[in-house]
Structure 1
C-alpha cells in the first residue's frame, strides 16, 4: 500500500515539473516578443556628447537636434563635457555601456577621442561627428556634419582686411587651444593674413569661447595703451564680450567680428557694437546630425559622408534678414 502511495506521489511530482517547464517556456516567448518591440524606431535613443553648453551656439545645436529627434522618433540625450576631454571620454564610454543606439559627439580635443570612438564602433554603435571634426574623422566615424571652419575663418579675416584697407593692428581671441574649430578657424586667418603684410597681430589670447573671459582680456589689452584697430573673435560669445569692453572704453572705432551668428551676436550687430559675424547655421548642424544618424542606423547609404553647412557673412547691411 505504501509503495502505491509513493508511486502516485512521484507521478504527481513529475507531472507538476512538466507543467512548470511548459509555463516557463511560454514566458520566455512573451519576453522575446517584448524585446523586439523595444527596438522599434520610436524607441531609439541617441547620446549627444557636446564639448560644452555655455553659449548660444552650442545650445542652438543641441536644441535643434532634440527637436529633430522628436520629429524622427529618436530620443536625443545631451551630455555636457564642460570643456574637459577626460569627462567627454567617460561620457561616451557610459553611452556605449548603457546600450545607446547611436552617439553624436563634438570633440573637445581632436586627437584624444580616437580610442573611445574606436571602442564605440567596435561595440556596434554608430558614431557621427558634429560641429568640429576629430583628427582623421574619415577613418573613425560614419559621417561628419558641421560648418567649414577654415573658410569661415577666411571669410571673417578677409572682411576685416577689407574694412581696414589692408593695413592696421589686430588682436585675435581664440577658442580652447587644440579644439578643431580653434585650429581650423586660425588656419583660415593665416591663409588671408599672408596676403596682407601691413596687417600686424599685436595681441592674441585664448578666451575659451566665453563672453566674460573675452571681456576681461580685452579690457586688459585696451588698458595697455597699445593701438588696436580690429578684434577678430573665433565665436560670437567672445565677440560680444570684446564689444562690451570696447564700448566701456569709449573706443567705438574698433572693429569687432565673430563667427556663428548666434542670437546675442545678431543683437550686437543690430545695436552697432559688433561689426559682423559668419553664420555656420547652428540649428542646421544640430538637425542634420540627427537626420544623418537616423540614416546610418537604418542602414541607408549616405550620398556623401562629409555634410557641411553654408558660410554667410552678416553685417548691418543684411542683419535684418536673420
Structure 2
C-alpha cells in the first residue's frame, strides 16, 4: 500500500476542533454502530470479535478515546465470534470509504483475502491481538512468547514438576492455540502431566460447561490452564469452592480477581487491551498522515498474582 496517503487537508492542517465520538457497544447480532460529530474527516472501521468479553470492550474504549483525540469517526462492528462475518465487515468498510481499518481477528487466515482487498484500495489495515499476514502494523502481545513466559514463571515458582493439568481453550482462536502450544511445550518438558484440552469457543457459558466437563473427567487435576478471558471466567465458575485445583489463566475480570483472593486462581497473564486500542488508532492516524508503518507495536504482559492484584482492582470494580 501507499504509506504516504494523507488526511484530508482540513484534518491535516488542524482546522476545526475534533468532534467527540460517542460510541455505544454493538448488540450481539453483528450490527454496526457509529457516532460522530459534524465536520469529522477521518473514518476508521474496526471489526471486533465480540462485545461480551471485558477484554474486547476495554479495547473498544481505548480505540474510542484515541479516535476522539484525533477527530476521527470510529465504527465498531461486532463479529459475534464468526470469522466469515469479519470478512464481510472489512468488505463493507471498503465500500463505505473508510480511511483505515482495524481488525481483531478470530481466524487470521480467514480474513486475509478481505484485508488484501482493502489494501488494494490503498486502505491501511492494522491488526490488534492476533497478527494477520500482510497488515501494515500488528499491535499486541507476542502470544507465543507470552505463553512461554508464563510457563517459565511456573517452573521458577516450583509449580510444575509432577503436577497434572488440563486446558480450557478456544479452538477457533489462532492466538489462543499459540498460547496453549507454547505454554505446554515448556511445562511438559519440565515434568508436568498433561491430561486433555476442552474447547470453550471463546464464549463464557460454553467455557464454563467445558471446564465442568474437564473437572468431571479429570477430578484430580492440580491446575487448569485457560487461554483467554471467557475460558478463565468459565473455569472460575466451574471450580468455585475447589480446594485441590488451581487456575493459571489469561485476562482479569472482577470474577477472576475474586478467584485470586480466594486462592482458586494462582496467576493471570494480563494484557493491556485499552492501550492496544489506543495504539491501533494512533498508528492509523500516523500512517494516514504520511508516516511509515511501524510493522509491530508490542504491548507487554504482566503476570498478576495475589502480590500485585491490588493495582487492578479499580479497573474491575
Residue segments in structure 1 that go unaligned for 5+ positions in a row: 1-34
Post-superposition offset of 1:209: 2.1
Counterpart for residue 242 of structure 2 = 251
| Residue 186 of structure 2 corresponds to residue 192 of structure 1 | yes
| Residue 199 of structure 2 corresponds to residue 206 of structure 1 | yes
Change (3 A) 1:264 1:71: farther
Residue segments in structure 2 that go unaligned for 5+ positions in a row: 1-7, 15-39, 313-317
Post-superposition offset of 1:225: 5.4
Task: Check conservation: 2:232, 2:251, Cα contact below 8 A.
Answer: no
| Residue 53 of structure 2 corresponds to residue 59 of structure 1 | no
| Residue 149 of structure 2 corresponds to residue 169 of structure 1 | no
| Residue 291 of structure 2 corresponds to residue 296 of structure 1 | no
Query: What TM-score, normalized to structure 2?
Result: 0.81
Counterpart for residue 213 of structure 2 = 220
Between 293-302 and 95-104, report the one with greater CA deviation: 293-302
Post-superposition offset of 1:107: 1.5
Change (3 A) 1:307 1:264: farther
3-state secondary structure, aligned to 2:189: coil
| Residue 265 of structure 2 corresponds to residue 274 of structure 1 | yes
3-state secondary structure, aligned to 2:98: coil
Counterpart for residue 5 of structure 1 = none
Counterpart for residue 32 of structure 1 = none
Deviations 1:128-170 (A, max 9, x none): 1111112xx2xx2111111111122123333444453512210
3-state secondary structure, aligned to 1:275: strand
| Residue 152 of structure 2 corresponds to residue 154 of structure 1 | no
Cα distance in structure 2, aligned partners of 1:221 and 1:260: 20
Q: Please point out which of 82, 85, 95 is paired with 1:84.
A: 82
Counterpart for residue 102 of structure 2 = 104
Give the number of aligned pairs. 279
Post-superposition offset of 1:37: 5.5
Cα distance in structure 2, aligned partners of 1:80 and 1:219: 28
- Structure 1 residue runs of 4 or more that deviate by more than 4 Å after TM superposition: 35-41
Cα distance in structure 1, aligned partners of 2:150 and 2:268: 7
Counterpart for residue 320 of structure 1 = 310
Task: Check conservation: 1:52, 1:58, Cα contact below 8 A.
Answer: yes
3-state secondary structure, aligned to 2:109: coil
RMSD of aligned Cα (Å): 2.2
Deviations 1:187-214 (A, max 9, x none): 3213313422x31111211102222222
Deviations 1:46-84 (A, max 9, x none): 001112222110111111111111011112111111111
Post-superposition offset of 1:104: 0.4
Q: Please point out which of 115, 118, 121 is paired with 1:117.
A: 115
Post-superposition offset of 1:90: 0.7
Q: Please point out which of 170, 175, 178 is paired with 1:181.
A: 175
Query: What TM-score, normalized to structure 1?
Result: 0.80
Cα distance in structure 1, aligned partners of 2:10 and 2:280: 25
Q: Which has the larger radius of gyration?
A: 1
3-state secondary structure, aligned to 1:132: coil
3-state secondary structure, aligned to 1:270: helix
Counterpart for residue 135 of structure 2 = 141
3-state secondary structure, aligned to 1:103: strand
Change (3 A) 1:109 1:122: same
Counterpart for residue 234 of structure 2 = 241
Post-superposition offset of 1:261: 3.1
Change (3 A) 1:83 1:115: same
